[in-house]
Amino acid sequence: MPRAAAFPLARLHDSAGGTPIAAAVARPVADSRRCWLEAFAAVRAETERRAAPLSAEDQVVQSMPEASPAKWHRAHVTWFFEQFLLRAFAPSYRTFDERFAYLFNSYYVAAGPRQARPQRGLITRPGAAETTSYRAHVDAAVASLIETTSDGESVFPIVEIGLHHEQQHQELMLTDILHAFAQNATHPAYDANWQWPGGESEAGAEAGDMLIADIHTIGHDRQSFSFDNERPAHQVLLQPVRLSRALVTNGDWLEFMADGGYTTPGLWLSDGWATLEAQGWDAPGYWRHVDGAWFSMTLGGLRAVDPALPVCHVSYYEADAFARWAGKHLPSEAEWEVAARAGALDDAFGTVWQWTRSAYLPYPGYVAEPGALGEYNGKFMVNQMVLRGSSLATPAGHSRNTYRNFFYPSARWQFSGLRLAELER
């Protein structure tokens, strides 16, 4: 039976506690050892905190090929440190179990063969308890390496990317278990006390918009951590465009639905309409029509749809159709980033990822990292769309203006929403 959640999820994005990874960067070596130890312990503990409400049975379920079991996430992020850090830099490290590399490698072809993604839910062994032992074994070895290495210049950057990688999986642990729970007709709650995070928009206030144009620089300047797909910084030319300060709400979406949004092919991209027909979409993901009212499956179980809250669990196809219905368009990722840097977007972070109309492509001059870690981002740069911002499930300290998330246009199990843009005529 699931244990009660040990923490209020609404606080997940609260960065008031600081960002341990950032604190560890750019320190003198003696000082940085302590900072990296603290950062490592904090991020690893957050993963276990998120797993704590889940039973062993919850942890093994895989509800669709794209979603992974919680236990697999816990083990995979551990394998990442074992594969890319300990095997490379800790000669005396004793591998916990040689067979785990096959089970918990995700997509790193250069790191060897692996379990097919859709079959991750078939991995009943190791169990949840042995996975905990695996994590403890690797935790001790990484801590020892941080304390003793004479090659911090090589070791600490791998620790750093491993921690950012683990934070990405912390978010997926929640999106994936929500998808699993949504298949259960009893609507189990991950955390019965879960609440939507408080937004920045004032209720009833005019949302407004911001006009941007001209030449701007986007992308990461390498002054702190970034993934390779955020680089290099480069100039973009924007046509005059107005971006909405506010996110599209459930109330807006109910108007779209009432106006035939899901029954008007002319609003939809061809692939989007085909997906709508194949999937039977008539509302956002996880919405349920009960006794004449709309409810939505959330981390707190089934809740009434609140018209004032941002719409969530919509695909790119739905976001694009909504924008067309509204006579507007989705912002490009460059438009989004310029407006975010200017502080012109409410709820840019911590509520819902926001679809952009930008395909996920390499920036001009993009070069993937060398070696197996070069598979992290670059090989996925086709057929997916960029989302910007971050969501209520994104760990504290993991968000930034240049961050590029990406998913297939039909995906809607992430906490994904939208804001609108309009060309200035």
Residues making contact with Fe ion (CB under 5 A): 106
- Which residue type does 22 have? A
Q: Is the peptide bond before 362 cis (omega within 30 degrees of 0)?
A: no
Dist. CA 111–CA 337, nearest whole Å: 34
Residues contacting residue 186 through CB under 8 Å, at least 6 positions apart: none
Dist. CA 68–CA 312, nearest whole Å: 21
Dihedrals phi, psi of 29, to nearest 5 degrees: -55, -50
Shortest CB 165 distance to Fe ion, Å: 6
Nearest by Cα to 310 from 390, 389, 417, 415:
417
Q: Are the beta carbons of 346 and 199 closer than 8 angstroms? A: yes
**Hey, how many other C-beta atoms are within 10 angstroms of the C-beta on 133?**
13
Of the pair 358, 377, the CB lying nearest Fe ion is at 377
Dist. CA 331–CA 211, nearest whole Å: 12
Shortest CB 172 distance to Fe ion, Å: 8
Shortest CB 86 distance to Fe ion, Å: 16
Nearest by Cα to 77 from 54, 95, 100:
100
Dist. CA 373–CA 377, nearest whole Å: 9
Question: Which tokens belong to 421?
Answer: 């843009």
Of the pair 108, 349, the CB lying nearest Fe ion is at 108
Q: 65-85 burial string, b = 16+ CB within 10 Å, else e?
A: ebbbbbbbbbbbbbbbbbbbb
Residues contacting residue 383 through CB under 8 Å, at least 6 positions apart: 408
Question: Edge to edge, what strands does the sheet with 293-298 contain?
Answer: 287-290, 293-298, 301-304
Of the pair 36, 79, the CB lying nearest Fe ion is at 79
Shortest CB 79 distance to Fe ion, Å: 9
Nearest by Cα to 393 from 183, 169, 229:
169
Cross-strand bridge partners of residue 385:
359, 407
Shortest CB 108 distance to Fe ion, Å: 9
Of the pair 107, 202, the CB lying nearest Fe ion is at 107
Element of type H or E holding 211? strand 209-218
Of the pair 84, 196, the CB lying nearest Fe ion is at 84
Question: Which tokens belong to 3?
Answer: 């244990």
Residue closest to Fe ion (Cβ) = 106
Q: Are the beta carbons of 353 and 336 closer than 8 angstroms? A: no
Of the pair 172, 330, the CB lying nearest Fe ion is at 172
